[in-house]
Amino acid sequence: MQGLEDVEVVDGDPIAASLIPRAATAGELLFEDGATQTFEVGGDTSYVEADGRPTEGEWYVDGDGRFCSFWPPTYRACYDLRWIVEGDEIVGLSFTELSRGTRFDGRYKALANRAGS
């Protein structure tokens, strides 16, 4: 993925807090259900459901080095963030919500489209 070529990791490795901003903003993510999400350098995020319905929120790295998001008016969650790697290429991010254990895998859309997904 553009901007991550110098990062050497294997599939499932946790994303270091120092790399979370690069990983999140490296490209639009496409989820298995057809939803997409973008993360802006300034902390804004936009999640668009497969039916086109958008939701705007914020993302940040908390004091413990975890990826977290806030969705107004009240939903806040933190995630274990891991790399998705195929071969030697980073292709996406895996989010596991710490409080519920729910996992969401997002693939960088540019790579998913290139692969014919």
- 67-71 and 29-31 as β-strands: parallel, antiparallel, unpaired? unpaired
Q: Is residue 2 over pLDDT 90?
A: no
Is the model's pLDDT at 117 over the cut of 50? Answer: no
* Amino acid 114: pLDDT: 54
Measured torsion, CA atoms of residues 78, 80, 81, 85, in degrees rounded to the nearest 10? -160
Within the chain, residue ranges assigned H as helices are 20-25, 109-114
pLDDT at 3: 81
Report the distance separating Cα 26 and Cα 64, nearest Å: 22
- The pLDDT tens digits of the residues spanning 13-41 come to 999 999 999 999 999 999 999 999 999 99
pLDDT at residue 33, as a whole number: 95
Q: What's the pTM value of the predicted model, to 2 decimals? A: 0.89
Instruction: Please answer whether residues 89 and 3 qualify as being in contact, where contact means their C-beta atoms are separated by less than 8 angstroms.
Output: no
Give the domains, in start order, of the chain with CATH numbers: 17-114 (2.40.128.270)
Average pLDDT, the chain: 92
In this structure, which long-range contacts are made by residues 112-115, counting pairs with CB atoms below 8 Å and at least 24 apart in sequence?
Answer: 112/30
**Parallel, antiparallel, or unpaired: how do β-strands 54-61 and 67-71 relate?**
antiparallel
Tell me: the pLDDT tens digits for 74-113?
A: 999 999 999 999 998 999 999 999 999 999 999 999 865 5
pLDDT at 69: 97
